[in-house]
Amino acid sequence: MSSPAVTLEPGSAAEPAPVPRTVVHKFGGTSVADAERYRHVARLLLAREETLQVTVVSAMKGVTDALIELAELAAGNRDEWRERWHETRARHRGAAVALDPAAAAAVQRSAQAVEAIVARGEPVYGINTGFGKLATVRIEREDLETLQRNIVLSHAAGVGEPMPVAVVRLMLALKLVSLAQGASGVKPATLALLEAMLRQDLVPVVPCQGSVGASGDLAPLSHMAAVMIGTGEAFLRGERMPAGQALSRAGLQPLVLGAKEGLALLNGTQYSTAYALAALFEIETVFQAALVAGALSTEAAKGSDTPFDPRIHALRGQPGQIVVADALRGLMAGSAIRESHRENDVRVQDPYCLRCQPQVMGA
């Protein structure tokens, strides 16, 4: 929702538009759990006089109490409200992560399949053999855990500055989704630790350079796995510390990797995918800002919204062009600036950079 910052009438000076009163309503999920409760909430909203109302519904445990506590602290001008606000933001800034219970059976079957291979003693790559050129080397059963630990430590050789925490958190989530398919042979405890790390905001320190991508993001994922076994470094709620200390403070235990688990954690493209998604999110934000800037520029130049007419763009049928034209038209809808020069404007058309925004940004 947007409204013009100023109202211009032909021949008049700019006058500030009245600032609408805004009220924010916060309801718990059970407040709108059935039709009668929904009607009750609707009546509460309709009884208000404010012209702009925002309604937030959340069933996240603890959010309502935290917001009320913050409001009370701020209303009382108590100094600790700012610190509490930062703590609350840190606690709730990530999306809640929970595995679908339906994944448990597939994960368990996969882990049992690996256990059966170990029990039979048949040679299977990555379980009881060496890696790469050492694939023909058999590994004794008592050394299988050491084999998996060693592949993690030997590949944790990244360099450079740490990856952004948000990207690493996304990498963990993607790895969790991958392992939850139940085709990697890892134990349920391994997924449980990844899930707990995300909930506790325990994020491995992962150097930004080192991935070759050919058989997966081996080095970055090794740094992730290293933290899971208690080595390397991690951020715990923003504070950098040794991995063992971070796990301990979060109430978590390091893993002892079983057969194939180290290999399963290392293989994958979750690092590259996380960076690609982060870039996509950034681009989406920039694109939305570009749309707003384009609409504002058109308004500032007293341009026309006629070039954004949907009939024009439907003829070409380019989806992006249609979406951009619709967005620009919506941003300018109801604009007093546009209405101020709709009649008796001697200009035939706007500059190319304004009238062709849908074609350029929608490409």
Distance from chain centroid for Cα 83: 24
CB-CB neighbours of 155 under 10 Å: 21
- Catalytically annotated residues: 125
- Separation of alpha carbons 124 and 118, rounded Å: 9
Per the DSSP assignment, residues forming a β-bridge with 28 are 58
Indicate the burial class of 213 (C-beta count within 10 angstroms; 0-12, 13-18, 19 or more): exposed
The count of other CB atoms within 10 Å of the CB of residue 214 is 7
Exposure of 71 in the CB half-sphere (CA atoms within 13 A): 9
Region of residue 237 (left: phi > 0; alpha: psi -120 to 50; beta: else): left
Q: Is 29 exposed, middle or buried (0-12, 13-18, 19+ CB in 10 A)?
A: exposed
Distance between CA atoms of residues 225 and 252, nearest Å:
14
